[in-house]
Chains A and B, each alone.
Chain A
């Protein structure tokens, strides 16, 4: 494993963290799932471990002189056995004939397999002088398969019962030329056995060494890009963008495990990896600082500058110093990340963020992975430990990424809700304003109208009224006086209909009673008046309805006084089902039949009916010679209550 350093990081809960998400539990389940298969290699069918070899460095253009070969014990790590060496090396191993082969002889069709967990950087396999496997390119750019376990099929037909020579040629680099011990040349022990047995073990190794990192790379890249875009367009959540960048960076970092054939040479690839570290550090530190709500301006300059400086220094040094120089840088970068993590945790603790412990756990896991990687630089570790250490941070990032997106989504939801509420409030306020405005303009219109009506009313009184009045009191003809008086009354009622406000029905009843009773009394007609009491009459009448009803009533009383010869009159007012009913009954001589045709002339019946009709009501007249007259006026109350 390569990489030393990095980041780790964990962010912790931002101040707006709400509650513990289930992600720590999720992480634990994932871990378990990851570890379980590791425990499953116990059922081992018989395999042979080939650990003895003779090693011979090959010089280009020179024939191999195996007499100069040295015996070595596999695994052979160049980092320890020959730290300064690089180039092409051949290993010869003795491969004993498998037992079944002895039984079945040359006709054995069993397929055998070789599994090489680590052959760095590229391997080719010869069996008894015949090439049976080539793992990649041996010329620059050399394939980089340090992390890829190799599986070689060995047909039984190629195996000789008397013994076999297995030759593995490795092309690798010296520790000094790479930035991680895991990419220095070397060969692990070789496993030999039946193909299916070996293949099964190989598949497991491949899963952890290549497949899972591939999957993680893809997932991180996808999610990282998503979060980067998310953060990019939401400047207030810029930490999302940095976290996205971190994920993308980590995804590229993981690519070192599975991307074997690069179009560039070892030096360029190692430099790019080292530079990637600086980038990841930038993203991590910025993320932690911003997530903690502690933005430092100078970091915005210093970190990118470091991103340029680091590859520049590595480039300036000779290739042999790469390991040392990058190691020094990794320590510096780790320190930065550590400082940011500590600062973040302090901040989170001060803000009593509920994310403190989950985030601290995550940071711890990542830090642990980092330590494992660092240890691996100095000592050989079990490959499975390394695998777990490589994958854990990626898992942690994914979990944190989900958490952040969840927070973001929730914040979005809250914002959306707030916005919706705000919108509702604005709409209400707007409606209120509109209502007020409408009321205001209505009021204004009313005021203007009112003023105008008053002016018209005053003009009518002063001019028309005065002239009619003059006619009333100066005319010699009683008929003309009466007509003028009636005209004056009409005018006044019209003006009142024009300017009047709604009248309470109870008040109207009072007015009508006073007029009817005193007029009848003056004319010597006995009167009886019945009306509902105060609390039964909450309704109001529009001034028009009041005026028209007054006219109808006045007309009816005039008829009684002038024409009926009645001695008694009953007026009954009732309210029934929202209708107002007025019944005027007299005991006079009724309306003569011969008058029926032109009833209206003297009695004004038609105008009474017309007025009732205008008010959506009706006026019925029942009369017959000898039994008086009954006038029934019915008006729907609601409409007049509403109307103004």
Chain B
């Protein structure tokens, strides 16, 4: 984790986040932005390993930055840092390619731990997000949503999602399915990835439908 993008408009919070990130990744170079436009420019010119993006910004939504980063630097990890805990705000960011999310008001210790986990490839997944993902893929499989590149969840991934939706924690699910903690984390990552891929395909198809690709 050498290059980290930090997108946050409130100076105090940005400072607080910065100190927190520096605590987790002492050697990282942190690029701070307070506006979407700045972040998009940075993304064009610098390579990032990790990006922490706030969602509600004065000049737009952090989701745009997440999507851009996904496009130009697929290997960068995007984490949403937000005050919104509801899936209506989070889900678009996850579809755009975010790998996880952190609620800003949580304690320093908790955020630190989550950040570490995410960076180690263990993104969090809440029951409500899991339900939303289940619903999303269920709709994708409807006959009318054809012409979609087949991005389907495996049985195991679905199993994990279902259990998360019922309120089981990831370690519990690991125990139930007889899988290691890392394997479960991999499933979750796969789920995030497939959500992103499917969403992008869907968006492309939608754009095509609107005739944006003509001319």
Question: Hey, which bits of chain A sit against chain B, CB under 8 A?
Answer: 458, 461-462, 465-466, 468-470, 472-474, 485, 488-489, 492, 496, 507, 509-514, 517-518, 521, 529
Min CB distance B130 to A, Å, is: 8
Tell me which residues across on chain B come within 8 A of A466, comparing CB atoms: 10, 13, 83
- Do B167 and A509 touch across chains, with their CB atoms under 8 A apart? yes
Beta-carbon contact of B127 and A507 below 8 Å: yes
What would be 9 A-B contacts, judged by CB atoms less than 8 Å apart? A461-B83, A466-B10, A466-B13, A469-B83, A488-B105, A492-B85, A510-B127, A511-B128, A518-B169
A513/B168 in contact, CB under 8 A: yes
Q: A462 and B56: CB pair below 8 A?
A: yes
Closest CB of chain A to B158's CB: distance in Å? 15
Query: Chain A's interface: helix, strand, loop or mixed, by majority?
Result: helix
On whether the beta carbons of A473 and B12 are closer than 8 Å, the reply is yes
Identify the closest chain A residue to B84 (Cβ).
Answer: A461
Q: Return chain B residues, CB-CB under 8 Å to A468.
A: 105
B102 interface residue per 8 A CB criterion: no
Q: Which residue of A lies closest to B125 (CB)?
A: A514
Task: Judge if B126 is at the interface, Cβ distance under 8 Å.
Answer: yes
Contacts of B71 in A (CB 8 A): none
Chain B residues contacting A513 (CB-CB under 8 Å) are 127, 166-168
A485 / chain B contacts, CB cutoff of 8 Å? 105, 107
B67 beta carbon closer than 8 Å to chain A: no
Q: Mark B15-35, 1 if CB is under 8 A from A, else 0.
A: 010000000000000000000
**What CA separation (Å) do A518 and B114 show in the bound complex?**
13
Compute how far the CA of A550 lies from the CA of B128 in the bound complex, rounded to whole angstroms: 14
Complex CA distance for A470 and B11, rounded to whole angstroms = 9
Q: In the assembled complex, which residues on chain B have CB atoms less than 8 Å from the CB atom of A462?
A: 56
Contacts of B172 in A (CB 8 A): 517
Report chain B residues within 8 Å CB of A511.
126-128, 167
A432–B17 CA distance with the chains assembled, in angstroms: 58
Q: Mark B122-160, 1 if CB is under 8 A from A, else 0.
A: 000011100100000000000000000000000000000
Which of the residues A461, A488, A514 comes within 8 Å of B56, measured between beta carbons? A461
CB distance from A543 to the nearest CB of B (A): 11
Known: A466-B83, A469-B104, A529-B167; 17 extra A-B contacts, CB below 8 A, are A461-B56, A461-B83, A470-B10, A473-B104, A488-B105, A509-B167, A510-B166, A511-B167, A512-B167, A514-B126, A514-B167, A517-B167, A517-B168, A517-B169, A517-B172, A518-B169, A521-B169
- A contact residues around B80 at 8 Å (CB): none
Q: How far is the CA of A529 from the CA of B169 in the complex (A)?
A: 12
A466: nearest chain-B partner, CB-CB: B10
Give every chain A residue within 8 A of B168 (Cβ-Cβ).
Answer: 513-514, 517
Residue contact B86 to A473, C-beta cutoff 8 Å: no
Report the 8 A-B pairs with minimum CB-CB distance, sorted nearest first: A513-B167, A510-B167, A510-B127, A473-B16, A514-B167, A470-B12, A510-B166, A488-B105
Q: Which residues of A contact B85 (CB under 8 A)?
A: 492
B165 at the A interface (CB under 8 A):
yes
Looking at the assembled complex, report how far the CB atom of A573 sits from the nearest CB atom of chain B, in whole angstroms. 11
Task: Evaluate contact between B105 and A489: CB separation under 8 angstroms.
Answer: yes
User: Shortest Cβ distance from A472 into chain B, in angstroms?
Assistant: 5
Closest chain B CB from A88 CB (angstroms): 111
Bound CA span A470–B105, Å? 9
| Chain B residues whose CB sits within 8 angstroms of the CB of A472 once the complex forms | 105
